[in-house]
Structure 1
Amino acid sequence: MPRNQEYVNPLVEQRADPWVYKHSDGYYYFTASVPEYDRIEVRRSLTLEGLADAVPAVAWRKYETGMLSANIWAPEIHYISGKWYIYFAAAHTTETKEGLFDHRMYVLENDAANPLEGEWIEKGQVKTAWESFALDATTFQHKGVLYYVWAQKDPEIPGNSNLYISEMSNPWTLQGKQTMISTPQYPWEVIGFSVNEGAAVIKRNGRIFISYSASATDYNYCMGLLAADEDSDLLDAASWSKSPEPVFCTSEENGQYGPGHNSFTVNEHGEDVLIYHARNYKEITGDPLYDPNRHTRAQVFRWNADGTPNFGVPVKDSQLKR
């Protein structure tokens, strides 16, 4: 088996918040935030490298006004009980523009075998305990239960967003209690903004790990890690422990800044791969959210002797050619 597969990075340019899902049909499915924040695209390839040149299909476009009309962020594509689902966040436009960063979470459904085909149906907003800023939802199944993990602003807690978990009664509806499992508490989580967001789940070595991203979306952006025993009550906040240090962050030496908002996949050789975005420069003019050059990257990662993931440092932009 080849070891330490190298990828031509960036893998996909100007695609932030990248999500890659490898399906049973052998294809890698990819979606991410586009710089215009106005649509959701899906592309697929039989190899990770092939995603770079795969032709995207537009699954959905934002509305012109009202709800679902601005800042379409961080789509994820999942396959649940024989259907495809895309989870994403959207804001709304108003006469005063004040709603541009007041996101809510939504779901699309497609029953086609190939999600680049068929029709994407709006299943509506995922309702949580509050009507407040919410985004970056992901789902995972464990012991027959479908879970939802997301970032949201609790109106009673200072800061921008915390991480929550809940069971789902179906892929667009929460049921039962909603538990906060992480809030920004360490210095590296509160630079610029007090943020925990962009959760992604990987199960290994008897534990469930949730990576997430913290701080502002400039060079301070970095990844943290939560862990719970696979036999614990995942809805009990006490089941989750947090790494006191970031697990993936800016590498000045390698010219990679603000790595984060990741997903996990497995390559053709069975190696675990971290998919993430980062910029290759530090200084940004204007609002980082409107700088389009958060590029999708991929790199193989290993596991420590204690069973925790070791993501290493973000690799340099590649000198390899496709």
Structure 2
Amino acid sequence: MISKMESEYIEVLCYTRTPQEDIIYASRLAHSMHLAYSGDGNQFQALNHNSGVLFAKATHHENGKLRAKSLKNPYLFHMADGRFGVVAVRTEADGQEDEESRGAVLFFTSNDLLQYQEVGLVDLKSDAYVLDATCEYDESCQAYVIHWCDSNGRSYRNEIQDLNDLDGAGTPERAEPFTLEAVSADIEGIQPRNVIRVPRETAQRLVCRLTVPQNVAIEVPECITAASAEDLKMLKATAVYSDGTTAPKAVDWDAAAVRWDRSGTYRVKGTVRQEHYAFPVAANRADPCIAKWNGKYYFIATNDADGNRTLYIREAETISGLVQAGESLILDTQTYDHIKGLLWAPEFHIIEGGLYIFHAATTGEFFDEECHVMKLREGGDPTCAADWSMPRRVVRKDGTELCEAGKVISLDMTVIQVNGECYAAWSERQFVPEDLGAWIYIAKLDPKEPWRLTSDPVLLTRPDVGWANNHTFVDEGPFALIRDGRIFITFSSAAVDATYCVGLLTADTNADLLNPGSWTKGNYPLLTSRSVPGEYGPGHNSYVTDDEGVTWNVYHARPGVEEPRGSGIRRVHFDVDGYPVLDLTEERDLNPALAEVSIEVIVKRD
């Protein structure tokens, strides 16, 4: 993190990257704005795992089909009102010239360099393709001056008083060629652009949000008065992280020398507990979900080992116990006439005291894949197939099928329960008459009959940015995490290969969740192949909270670029703004050198 002893302002560098192999860092990822910072004014350090933070949005045709776009030559500048602005050249997805952007530059605004708004294309009143551009506010004329050059090497300038007025630029005037100050940074693939100075507070938050924290201290009280070993067991340590955040940690205390039957003072040692989950915890298992039901934990996932033809459940007393637990078959493609294949993305949900499994299945063909629901009978055993009802297809509020078979598929349905209301969110993909890609929708759900919607579906997100439409146009796998008055919906995007990643939608719990304007979509994914070494294409995650109140991310990824998918488990940390951190690895979560602690235990007896 940034030292408190350094200057009042910090330098921030914006850049793009050279594309790598298509499966590693494709052009749709490299052609985005990246950020780095310098704490000493000399060395720059990449933020966000050297991954993009700002991507151009796709355009769409009248039939709804998306056309992916990228950006090149971003330029970061200060706006007159204190915000940040970015101008860039919009291109086709592969970086080629974009006919729709001829004679224009793409303009974004941001309050904090974390969340950006794409305002649109500023018309420069020219028919030439823009090759490069800069923008600065000129106090003398109280207008923004856009310097730009075309693909033939001619340079121009336009003045515009309000960049939000996309048609408000004046006539271009010929100008002297412009050059950017050379920047040297030892960052893989960097194509540097420009550097600006930002206030320390802004930079500190930027660094905290876009770097993974690490454990720097463990705190326990100097002493505690306890009457029993149970009192001591309840005492937790506080892990302190480099960004100033904290997390409670259970401690395994060695209290063998304490005489609980007599008064005295004892020095007790302990070891801060760190659950270890070697990846993968379950091979050939994808789209995993863990839930607690009647005092036990249950694991279910898509079974890649047999071509997605069965669903198995694991049962254990603890989450860690699920790793070695046996499996029980609860659904296959032989039992029911309407369930013939592609058993995808099962999820447990407890609704009004009943346990349900939401999953996708097909009557036979891929294009008939639809969301289904099973219910556990009252008093039933989740590991017993006979105790689960026949899968029932999800229907609209009027009783008609959610999607038209053969034309639109539905999958990955999840349940969100907040403020006494029940919602479903899921992914749909229209294939006929045009393949529109997978889009995520939300609707109210009847808790009495949770296979029935009670409102019309509302679009939440579609794959309109480079990290979401890399290799294919997909937003899928939504799952909600509710904390401190906010709903976080993580979802998965891009092809289900090493480019798969996890995006984020956020809303206030008291907002109208059926209003798309209530939701904010993050500009960049929370989890990618660059987040955790050795885990490729992470995605389709869910969350479970254990008996200690710790929230765990349950996800799938690949142990190698071309390896089969497997399930993983990692603790969810929460950053300086309360947003989930999904890439806090075990060694950063707890520094082993700090794991040993001690405390003075005072026992008082009458």
Query: For 2:444 and 2:482, how far apart are their aligned partners in 1?
Result: 17
1:175 aligns with 2:454: yes
Counterpart of 1:34? Answer: 303
1:100 counterpart (366, 370, 391): 366
Counterpart of 2:376? Answer: 110
Counterpart of 2:20? Answer: none
Q: Deviations over 1:230-282 (max 9, x none)?
A: 10001111111111100011138711100011010123432221110111111
SS at 1:21's partner residue? strand
CA contact (8 A) 1:254 1:315 kept: no
1:18 counterpart (288, 291, 297): 288
The aligned amino acid for 2:416 is F
Query: For 2:413 and 2:302, how far apart are their aligned partners in 1?
Result: 14
Counterpart of 2:561? Answer: 282
The aligned amino acid for 1:298 is I
Query: For 2:523 and 2:535, how far apart are their aligned partners in 1?
Result: 22
**155-164 or 5-14: bigger deviation:** 155-164
2:346 counterpart (55, 59, 75): 75
Query: For 1:192 and 1:13, how far apart are their aligned partners in 2?
Result: 25
Q: Point out where structure 2 has 5 or more consecutive residues left out of the alignment.
A: 1-248, 251-272, 397-401, 588-606
Counterpart of 1:195? Answer: 474
Query: For 1:315 and 1:73, how far apart are their aligned partners in 2?
Result: 29
2:437 counterpart (160, 185, 194): 160
Counterpart of 2:515? Answer: 236
Counterpart of 1:89? Answer: 360
Counterpart of 1:261? Answer: 540
Counterpart of 1:227? Answer: 506
Counterpart of 1:320? Answer: none
| Structure 1 residue ranges (4+ consecutive) displaced by more than 6 angstroms after TM superposition | none
Counterpart of 1:143? Answer: 419
Shift of 1:149: 0.7
1:130 counterpart (379, 403, 421): 403
Query: For 2:507 and 2:532, how far apart are their aligned partners in 1?
Result: 33
- Return the TM-score normalized by structure 1: 0.87
SS at 2:371's partner residue? strand
Shift of 1:83: 2.1
1:57 counterpart (328, 341, 352): 328
Q: 1:157 to 1:230 in 2, by over 3 A?
A: farther
CA contact (8 A) 2:491 2:502 kept: yes
Shift of 1:190: 0.4
Q: Point out where structure 1 has 5 or more consecutive residues left out of the alignment.
A: 94-98, 285-292, 317-322
Query: For 1:52 and 1:163, how far apart are their aligned partners in 2?
Result: 31
Q: Deviations over 1:72-107 (max 9, x none)?
A: 1111122222322111111233xxxxx235411111
Aligned Cα root-mean-square deviation (Å): 2.2
**133-142 or 248-257: bigger deviation:** 248-257
SS at 1:50's partner residue? helix
Query: For 1:39 and 1:184, how far apart are their aligned partners in 2?
Result: 30
The aligned amino acid for 1:130 is C
Q: Percent identity?
A: 31
CA contact (8 A) 1:222 1:246 kept: yes
Query: For 1:80 and 1:9, how far apart are their aligned partners in 2?
Result: 31
The aligned amino acid for 2:392 is G
**38-47 or 263-272: bigger deviation:** 263-272
Counterpart of 2:27? Answer: none
Query: For 1:101 and 1:76, how far apart are their aligned partners in 2?
Result: 21
Shift of 1:150: 0.4
The aligned amino acid for 2:322 is L
Q: 1:65 to 1:110 in 2, by over 3 A?
A: closer
**2-11 or 131-140: bigger deviation:** 2-11
- Return the TM-score normalized by structure 2: 0.47
**163-172 or 107-116: bigger deviation:** 107-116
Instruction: Name which structure has the greater RCO, CA cutoff 8 Å, separation 6+.
Output: 1
